[in-house]
Structure 1
């Protein structure tokens, strides 16, 4: 039975939401109020209870205690379908789209306009075009979704919700896979939706986006609400302290390293997406690669890791030619690799945390006469879980049970533990909370200072500027600029990333 009360401008109200899992109190009497026409940020470290709370609101989990009200009506959602019928919609981190279908077919799927009992495809295309124009979500209704970049796929997800009449939109880490330009475009859309009276619940770790794009902030820590803030009256430092329970040094610029011998030497490298790339990385140095997504950074790293064929040029690792060596051979010769896609490439989600942490170590430090002693695997896992703050109930749980941020900590920890001369690392802190970001940055600097070479690719300019001793910029598959740490300010890098440095770069070489 539902009960309605007087309209006070509240879109969603959660009261006393409690949710337990075996061994974990995920939400502890959480209250959350979201008003109509506002962007409300929900923040907290990995494992703070954000995703669980949104799963309860969206009908994916049943609360053990507490009540939900949507637009004044008390509701019990047995499924996401019931939540959608009440005017809620959710965009997950992993998009729920059919790559083989068009934009229009995805948007209207299971809610198709019909004529004479048949799906009216022309009406579907018109509907999507009208929604896209109305809300500033430009996308071709006839485009195949599998051919679209990530930013446009996210627009398709939002159009799906609007087509179904969603009045409150829940977005889970919406900018984790977006370029800065795509993120800015998304926030313009969200502000437009809020101005029309819709509400947005934004689950994110990114302080800059929260400060620029939200109206109010609720912070969770260890399953409880620890702060309710008005965005215009707070600061990044206050939010970070509420999330972590301690003062956090944000956007720290680390001191430069002391470069030694060349570890990675790349000359004239070419692939299907990379053209005539020259670069070096020395021991005791972090070289950062900046660029808008899609300009060859990922393809370059895949070629260096042995995952993409090299069509021209030469790659040398610690003085050995590895141009056509396999990925396994490169690992043997001293390469560690943190890929951008932690799910499909970096880990085996169905395997346990302990087994994932053993990968790559199973032929070396953990092997005894060709065998893997289970006790050694568990001890190795416990050491890395503690060192990198991976929140897992036991090392035996599958990696798929971890949040995205904790899976990233697992991956970073495993690769750093190899102590390889060269580390290739892409997007090291994507989807990771503030406290963990600081820890990962400190670990990468310590790795550099121990005499290792690091090649870093990141979409976060603050991360590149904070960590890198030298910065290379890629544009349309080429390295078009090279800067020292002192030269690499945001304006200079932004201009180069937009194609404003198309002359051959004069290499900013390390000083011996």
Structure 2
């Protein structure tokens, strides 16, 4: 048997948009096969068809050489196909065990036999190096651990083909390393893995072959060991891609954001940020580097007005904003690209045009008194979407929920940058985006800097921090470890500072 999965000439159309146009995918037993494409290229649609979440308009699917019709996910499970979705499908107040057995609970004398299930989960967890506590509640475990629960859900159902949809989008660098080991363990056991991604570094680290699709069409399949990242990027985007965006000379102007002695509490009422001081000048990008959960969230929430400051002061362009409301801060020239685009960035059931004017609908020309000026709103939203390459099925009236992750992100960045903010707080601005979109967003952030504004870049991606920043502030356990010039440091030095080792220059 050469292929465990063969999808031939798959076509799928939604509302006149062709998501998959005659795509072919072949996966061998025991291989890690990457499915590479830009946001909105049709990767998730193709995998939704394989997992039975939607039906193809045309084309055939063969599993272990036999043609099959996958009517729903239960049929997929019976065929040994499992899927870890980008947004996990877990019940938060259930335990790990309860989530894993949901829908196929082991019965004993008519009652659910939790103990036997927990023992099997413990055994699977040990065997594949997943280190999951079967009794823990989902709401109490990290995002990386939730992902492992999703993997165990597949293994518990004896899946032989495991689909991972953008699995590293929500993980820290350490969790990504662990996930790669887990995938290698699974492949060594003979499992076949389909990895939906647009992260070339991870494809090079873990995949055997890679199928590239672009705008719904099959481009080709390459052997990862011999194909360069540049080749795969060009296949994916259809043009040459610059991994490091050039930027002009560093010419800092006046202080536009000043934080002095900030102390901020977390949800548990303990200090998440301790006497934190930092300045950002016009004409510079200040990167904030740190391991996830070291006070970055509280720092951003304090600056943007989403969390109370216990002690300390925040100035924006010389004006104190410590106790101003969120709207007053926006009006003063602050913009915010939030970490969680779906929870904090967009109202998912609103149209794109309503999302784009969320912060300014009360200003002219968008409103006169109590009345919204729809034509002005629509024209402005269309300009933002065109300017920031936001692609959607029905233009500005499309619900934000129906956009791909990358297009949701571009809509948020377009909305925020179009405000011409004095200070832009960008948190994980390219998380889960493909190289084409990353290059585009990096160019926009550098354009903000070159226009004389300040950008505070908070990211877990060290490459992004090092490539974009002029200065880097390292945060550990809520404290500023030090600031360094980006051109005088490297990943190793920053990594040591993130671990709290080697305090460097304290100027801020």
Q: TM-score, normalised by structure 1?
A: 0.96
Distance 2:248 2:486 in 1: 9
Q: Is the 8 A contact 1:91 1:158 kept in 2?
A: yes
| Aligned equivalent of 1:260, options 253, 260, 283 | 253
Distance 2:473 2:365 in 1: 37
| Aligned equivalent of 1:54, options 47, 57, 64 | 47
Alignment of 1:7-406 (within 5 A): 8-252=1-245, 254-272=247-265, 273-370=272-369, 371-393=371-393, 394-406=395-407
Q: Is the 8 A contact 1:58 1:79 kept in 2?
A: yes
Deviations 1:328-365 (Å, cap 9, x if unpaired)?
A: 12112111111001111111110001111112121235
Query: Structure 1 residue 479 and structure 2 residue 489: aligned?
Result: no
Deviations 1:152-189 (Å, cap 9, x if unpaired)?
A: 11000000110011110101100000001100100100
- CA shift, 1:114, in A, is 2.5
CA separation of 1:206/1:54 partners in 2, compared to 1, >3 Å: closer, same or farther? same
Deviations 1:252-282 (Å, cap 9, x if unpaired)?
A: 4634531111111111101111111110011
SS at 1:26's partner residue? Answer: strand
CA separation of 1:114/1:253 partners in 2, compared to 1, >3 Å: closer, same or farther? farther
* Higher mean displacement: 209-218 or 358-367: 358-367
Q: Is the 8 A contact 1:253 1:465 kept in 2?
A: no
- CA shift, 1:498, in A, is 2.1
Distance 1:177 1:256 in 2: 33
Q: Is the 8 A contact 1:253 1:467 kept in 2?
A: no
Alignment of 1:444-455 (within 5 A): 444-455=445-456
Q: Is the 8 A contact 1:358 1:366 kept in 2?
A: no
Match of 2:435 in 1: 434
Distance 2:360 2:133 in 1: 47
Match of 1:4 in 2: none
Deviations 1:374-410 (Å, cap 9, x if unpaired)?
A: 1111111111111111111211110001011100000
CA separation of 1:490/1:256 partners in 2, compared to 1, >3 Å: closer, same or farther? farther
Distance 1:12 1:256 in 2: 51
- CA shift, 1:51, in A, is 1.0
Q: Is the 8 A contact 1:256 1:469 kept in 2?
A: no
Distance 1:97 1:185 in 2: 21
Distance 1:169 1:275 in 2: 43
Deviations 1:442-462 (Å, cap 9, x if unpaired)?
A: 111111111111111111111
Distance 2:206 2:482 in 1: 32
Match of 1:497 in 2: 498
Query: Structure 1 residue 443 and structure 2 residue 441: aligned?
Result: no
Distance 1:256 1:126 in 2: 60
Distance 2:235 2:353 in 1: 32
CA separation of 1:366/1:131 partners in 2, compared to 1, >3 Å: closer, same or farther? farther
Q: Is the 8 A contact 1:484 1:508 kept in 2?
A: no
Q: Is the 8 A contact 2:163 2:195 kept in 1?
A: yes
- CA shift, 1:111, in A, is 1.8
Distance 1:366 1:271 in 2: 38
Distance 1:252 1:209 in 2: 20
Q: Is the 8 A contact 1:251 1:463 kept in 2?
A: no
Q: Is the 8 A contact 1:135 1:193 kept in 2?
A: yes
Aligned length: 500
SS at 1:486's partner residue? Answer: helix
Q: Is the 8 A contact 1:338 1:415 kept in 2?
A: yes
Structure 1: runs of 5+ lacking an equivalent: 1-7
* Higher mean displacement: 308-317 or 205-214: 308-317
- CA shift, 1:508, in A, is 4.7
SS at 1:25's partner residue? Answer: strand
Match of 1:5 in 2: none
SS at 2:362's partner residue? Answer: coil
Q: Is the 8 A contact 1:18 1:28 kept in 2?
A: yes
* Higher mean displacement: 96-105 or 154-163: 96-105
Q: Is the 8 A contact 1:471 1:488 kept in 2?
A: no
* Higher mean displacement: 234-243 or 47-56: 47-56
CA separation of 1:131/1:256 partners in 2, compared to 1, >3 Å: closer, same or farther? farther
Distance 1:382 1:334 in 2: 23
Q: Is the 8 A contact 2:245 2:443 kept in 1?
A: no
* Higher mean displacement: 156-165 or 352-361: 352-361
Q: Is the 8 A contact 1:470 1:508 kept in 2?
A: no
